[in-house]
Amino acid sequence: MKSFNRVTGIAAPMDRANVDTDMIIPKQFLKSIKRTGFGKNLFDELRYLDEGQPDQECTGRPLNQEFALNQARYQGASVLLARKNFGCGSSREHAPWALDDYGFRCVIAPSFADIFYNNCFKNGLLPLVLSEAEVDQLFSELYANEGYELTIDLPSQKVLTPSGAAFSFEVDEFRKHCLLNGLDDIALTLEQADAINAYESKQRESAPWLFDAVKN
Amino acid sequence: MTAKTLYDKLWDAHLVQQRDDGSALIYIDRHIVHEVTSPQAFAGLRIAGRKPWRVDSILATPDHNVPTTIKERASGVSGIEDPVSLIQVQTLDDNCDEYGIVEYKINDLRQGIVHVVGPESGACLPGMTIVCGDSHTATNGALGALAHGIGTSEVEHVLATQCLVAKKMGNMRIDVNGKLGEGVTPKDVVLAIIGKIGTAGGTGYAVEFAGDVFRDMSMEGRMTVCNMAIEAGARAGMVAVDDTTIEYVKGRPYAPTGENWEKAVTAWRELTSDEGAHFDAVVELNGADILPQVSWGTSPDMVADINATVPAPADEPDAVKREGMLRALEYMGLEAGQKIADIKLDRVFIGSCTNSRIEDIRAAALVVKGRQKSSSVKQAMVVPGSGVVKAQAEAEGLDKIFVAAGFEWREPGCSMCLAMNADKLGAGEHCASTSNRNFEGRQGYGGRTHLVSPAMAAAAAIAGHFVDVRDFVRS
């Protein structure tokens, strides 16, 4: 997994609440059996004026010029500033894959849906919670200043603004450790194989029906 | 001993290892797999040279992409017309064959929507931890189980380790007491709950649905309610075990038998919240106050009573919410103050993991019987949740009722709930749908979804616009 330490980049706005994962990456693109290549279809229905198809070349498609990511000032953005309950709906990990593939490293919002929040950490993408007032402030600064950049410093758990303000954020110890070091969860869990085996033996004794095989 | 909630009990019974930072390793009893969220997980497993930890804990079936017409289903996977869908379904078959995972393939009688197949086959049982790469896995919580959706990285993690790295959620109880009125269904109950607490109201919680209304509810009804816990933000919803649960499980293909059945039932009887157990949040609704619900917007909390009008954004004090309402009305092509009953429908969809079980099909058939689909409705389709549901409905003659009324009777799958197959809405079309999400574009590019119960969807197909199904019941 990609590690995350300190990221500085242009911030782009996604100024609406309850952005669902269908909006982040519409269903027709979930037919891919790969993990990559979803960036060109990130926010497809908002970004383009036509209906997108899987495996389609996107360069000639008509763009919705009103959509932030199509505006010159937000090109190359790596921080997405969003509103509450970002990532609600479906569990599709294609949503963080699409954000990552587009180039985003961090999403800042007042709250996230649980499954999306969890999925981000598995992909080196940091979902970062700030208070509603702080997010409001970042939105106004972002709109007022072209080329507005934010720095996210994971070791010190701070968001730094161009004016020098710093906002602290919380992140789980374990998740922070994995992000900083780009650690693969599975390898870490397999180090605990003895504990898993011990649990299984005990359960097989007390609740054997839980181990009845699924048979054809 | 401290009093525990149902969720506390399920969590404690599956705790492999608690870490100091609050995260834990949780053992997973049952892993359900479908074609959309698993290919990258199997690929990851293969690249790392790993094998599934416990192959016989896994059950797979394709559902999201499968076509629902007999014609397209006739020649199995190779008959799927959409080449990208075909590859995805074929990839599931290949992965299951390679690892020896039991899969109910496309034309197996037992194939169907994962969340219908799990309980129906007895693969999902009370007291289990159940995961699937699909947010509606919470459906299985109706059995008194801890069930929730996971992402693809976690699918790979569970395949490789039989465990999940998790952090304990908070406990929320939603009490609905009293009696439901005639014509008011489990779908209306859960839509009313979401309307009350909002799409993030349950975020961070495991929700237990408690109270008379759920005690009186069938298992199918409880599944409908738990299914939509995620639409209230909660990853997991659950209902305590009682006689209804045990009666439902008894005799299912994978249910325990003999001595193990007796032992299991004794253990399952404990799967209730203890008297005095602590809940971090409690929400109460009165069952008698709930009316048939219709969603008018693009988020599942944008719901109204059937006899109400579309709400006015101007009345909403919160700016972000008001903005959301304005955008929703524009997308939906509706006006504030318009009567819900005046919304005309282009299509009707009865199906999805929320409402495609035998009870749902029966409820819709009861409304449809002896009536005709309105000529202004282009299409009304009924998509049973599994081959088993379909066979049962046909044995009861329900398919004939629908076909005689001008409805289409389809093969099982997710179908128009998320339109990954050929079943979809055209731009601007209004659909009365028994599914779970009314997000923009969910049922097709530019499509307009109204979430309702099966009976309400059936009544709307007959009338051509929304009607109070209670009038149908009385007439």
> By the CB < 8 Å criterion, does B362 face chain A?
no
Set of chain A residues whose Cβ sits within 8 Å of the Cβ of B260: 208-209, 212
CA distance B140 to B116: 9
Q: Cβ contact (<8 Å) for A30 and B36? A: yes
What amino acid is encoded at A117 in this protein? Y
CATH architecture of B6-166: 2-Layer Sandwich (3.30)
DSSP string, B334-401: --TT-BGGG-B-SEEEE-TTTS-SHHHHHHHHHHHTT----TT-SEEEE--SBHHHHHHHHHTTHHHH
Q: Which of A117, A142, A167 is the last residue of a domain?
A: A142
**Does residue A162 lie in a domain region?**
no
Give the separation between CA B237 and CA B148, rounded to whole angstroms.
8
- In angstroms, the CA A54 to CA B292 distance is 38
Among A86, A115, A142, give the residue marking a domain's end: A142
How far, in Å, CA of A78 to CA of A82, rounded?
Answer: 13
Q: What is the CATH number of domain B170-250+267-289?
A: 3.40.1060.10
**CA torsion angle for A116, A118, A121, A125 (degrees, to 10)?**
20
Distance from CA of B406 to the nearest CA of A (A): 29
Cβ-contact B207, B237 below 8 angstroms: yes
Q: What percent of chain A has pLDDT over 70?
A: 100
Is some CB atom of chain B closer than 8 A to the CB atom of A136? no
The per-residue pLDDT for A149 is: 98
Binary contact (A212, B441; C-beta < 8 A): no
Residue A3 lies in a domain: no
Interface predicted TM-score (ipTM) = 0.95
A85 and chain B in contact, CB less than 8 A: yes
Which residues on adjacent β-strands are paired with residue B237? Answer: B207
Is-contact A105 A125, C-beta < 8 A?
yes
Nearest by CB to residue B233, choosing from A88, A123, A196, is A88
Considering only CB atoms, A185 lies closest to which of B157, B264, B437, namely B157
The yes-or-no verdict on residue A55 having pLDDT over 90 is: no
Residues A70 and A135 in one domain: yes
Predicted confidence at residue B295, as pLDDT, reads: 98
- Domain with A114, as residue range(s), is 10-142
Residue B464 touches chain A, beta carbons under 8 Å: no
Chain B residue with CA closest to A174: the answer is: B21
Q: What is the DSSP string of B288-341?
A: GG---EEE-SSSTT-EEETTSBPPPGGG---HHHHHHHHHHHHHHT--TT-BGG
**Which chain A residues contact residue B39 at CB under 8 A?**
33
Examine the domain organization and report whether A102 and A198 are in the same domain: no
The whole-angstrom separation of Cα B387 and Cα B108 is 8
Task: Return the closest-CA partner of residue B433 out of B333, B372, B343.
Answer: B343
Tokens found for residue A152: 């996210």
User: Mind listing the pLDDT tens digit for each residue in A31-49?
Assistant: 999 999 999 999 999 999 9
Question: Where would I find the beta strands (DSSP E) of B89-231?
Answer: 102-103, 129-132, 146-149, 163-167, 170-177, 205-210
* Chain B residues in contact with A176 (beta carbon < 8 A): none
In-domain check, residue A49: yes
Instruction: Point out the residues of chain B with pLDDT beneath 50.
Output: none
Residue A58 pLDDT class (50, 70, 90 cuts): very high
Contact map slice: B 55-114 vs A, CB within 8 A: 56-59, 64-65, 82, 84-85, 87-88, 91, 102
Cβ B29 vs Cβ B118: under 8 Å? no
Based on the fold, state whether residues A196 and A137 are members of the same structural domain. no
pLDDT for res B175: 98
A96 and A38 part of one domain:
yes
Residues B50-85 have pLDDT tens digits of: 999 999 999 999 999 999 999 999 999 999 999 999
Counting one residue from chain A and one from chain B, the pairs whose CB atoms sit within 8 A come to 200
Q: Confirm whether A148 is domain-assigned.
A: no
- The nearest alpha carbon in chain A to B85 belongs to A31
CA atoms within 13 A on the CB side of A112: 24
A210 CB neighbours in chain B (<8 A) are 29, 125, 127-128
CATH number, domain B293-474: 3.30.499.10
CB B353 within 8 A of CB B116: yes
Closest Cα in chain A to B23: A174
Give the up-direction half-sphere exposure of residue B378: CA atoms within 13 A in the CB hemisphere: 9
Is A93 an interface residue toward B (CB < 8 Å)? yes
Look at residues A83, A112, A142 and tell me which one is the last residue of a structural domain: A142
Tell me whether residues B437 and A20 touch, CB distance under 8 A: yes
Q: Domain total for chain A?
A: 2
Please name the amino acid found at residue B443. Answer: Q
Does A102 lie in the same domain as A206?
A: no
Residue A106: phi and psi, rounded to 5, are -150, 140
CB contacts under 8 A, B 219-238 vs A, are: 230, 233, 235
Distance CA B83, CA B293 (A): 38
Residue with token string 């603004």: A161
Rounded CA separation B474/B468 (Å)? 10
Lookup result for tokens 């702080």: A134
Q: Answer yes or no: are the C-beta atoms of B139 and B147 closer than 8 Å.
A: yes
CA distance A201 to A196: 9
Please give the single-letter amino acid code of residue B217. M
Which of A7, A5, A22, A49 has its CA nearest to residue A149?
A7
User: CA A125 to CA A103: how far, in whole Å?
Assistant: 10
- Residue B158 corresponds to which tokens in the numbers above? 């569970």
Alpha-carbon distance of B300 to B290, in angstroms, equals 16
Is A158 contained in some domain? no
| CB of B254 less than 8 A from some CB of A | yes
CB contact under 8 A, A31 and B321: no
Residue A27 lies in a domain: yes
Residues 6+ apart with CB under 8 A from B134: A90, A91, B32, B34, B36, B37, B114, B115, B149
pLDDT digits (tens, 9 = 90+) for B164-193: 999 999 999 999 999 999 999 999 999 999
* Res B22: pLDDT: 86
Q: Are residues A137 and A188 in the same domain?
A: no
Domains B6-166 and B293-474 share a fold: yes
CA quadruple A121, A122, A125, A126: dihedral, nearest 10:
10
Domain boundaries, chain B: 6-166, 170-250+267-289, 293-474
Which residues in A lie closer than 8 A to residue B16 (C-beta atoms)?
A: 192, 195-196, 199
